[in-house]
Amino acid sequence: MHAYQSAATEGTVIEVRLLQGGPPLTDREYEIFWATVFVILEGEAAAAEGVDGIVIDCTTDPGYVELMESLSIPVAGALRSGIDKAIDLIGNTAKFGMIALDANWKRMIARQIHLLGKANSLSSIEVSGTHVYQPDHLKGLSSIESDDIFAHLLDAGRSARNQGCEAIVLGSTTIIAEVEPLQEALGVPVIAPGIAALREIEAAIKKGYHTDRVSFPEPIYRYGRVMQKWLSGGVRSQ
């Protein structure tokens, strides 16, 4: 939360909401699917409580389309925002690169970029081989220590730059403190996707943005309300 609040413009209040369920780790599409259910529920709950905009703090953008359909307030996905920021900086004819935490995240991010129609603007996705947040399944299994994180990010960044990119989007919202030193060392813009999403939300709120109902029509049946009751024990079947 501190990193987002520190990056926010004056007057923006950040509320970090933890999911009430789902898998403890999201390193596969299967896990992302189940987490998405709770992203939708939490987003709907936050909107009902009066927030002005929502940032999805994950670089597979789980629940983005669903929340855009469900809500009238602006929603930003970290991956979409990071890529849009990169293209805005370097232009449509230049290439951006990405740094993924590991091979699984590379695969999932590549799939999302393809679905977004941005594959032609991508030079490469490089793997750093280290997780900033050190998930449980890597503890004791990896020789990479936390002190080595920047060095591995820098190596991946150099590989991305060698592939011809003119900007680098980080493949995890957990990488924030390393942005400025990476940018200085690599000589190209380095974008923290979560911060890019925050900037997008701030701008959308300032402009009074509301969901485009042609692109994101409202759901016919708002099942999230039923699911919330089911999870609290109030509904057994529907």
So what's the pLDDT on residue 225? 82
* The amino acid at 163: Q
So what's the pLDDT on residue 175? 86
So what's the pLDDT on residue 105? 93
Residue showing tokens 């520190």: 6
Residue 56 pairs with which residues in a beta bridge?
77
So what's the pLDDT on residue 234? 57
What domains are there in the chain, each with its CATH number? 2-78+195-231 (3.40.50.1860), 79-193 (3.40.50.1860)
The whole-angstrom separation of Cα 170 and Cα 151 is 14
DSSP string, 165-195: -SEEEES-TT--TTHHHHHHHHSS-EE-HHH
Per-residue pLDDT of the chain (238 residues; tens, 9 = 90+): 568 888 889 989 999 999 989 888 888 899 999 999 999 999 999 999 999 999 999 999 999 999 999 999 999 999 999 999 999 999 999 999 999 999 999 999 999 999 999 999 999 999 998 766 555 544 443 444 445 788 999 999 999 999 999 999 999 998 888 899 999 999 999 999 999 999 999 999 999 988 889 999 999 998 988 888 888 875 554 4
- Tell me 136's DSSP state: G
> Per the structure block, which two tokens stand in for 152?
């591995």
So what's the pLDDT on residue 26? 85
The whole-angstrom separation of Cα 160 and Cα 213 is 38
Cut 0.95: pTM above it: no
* The amino acid at 158: R
For residue 133, what are the contacts with CB-CB under 8 A and spacing of at least 6?
Answer: 174
- Tell me 219's DSSP state: P
Q: Which long-range contacts (CB under 8 A, 24 or more apart) does 221-230 make?
A: 222/44, 222/70, 224/40, 224/41, 224/44, 224/70, 225/44, 227/37, 227/41, 228/41, 228/45
So what's the pLDDT on residue 138? 47
Three-state secondary structure call for residue 27: coil
Give CA separation, 172 vs 4, 41, 165, 175, 199, in Å.
14, 22, 18, 6, 17
Q: Residue 119: phi, psi to the nearest 5? A: -60, -30
So what's the pLDDT on residue 142? 45
So what's the pLDDT on residue 5? 85
So what's the pLDDT on residue 147? 53
For residue 112, what are the contacts with CB-CB under 8 A and spacing of at least 6?
Answer: 59, 60, 61, 79
Q: Describe the strand order of the beta sheet including 96-100 as a list of residue ranges.
A: 122-127, 96-100, 167-170, 190-191
So what's the pLDDT on residue 143? 43
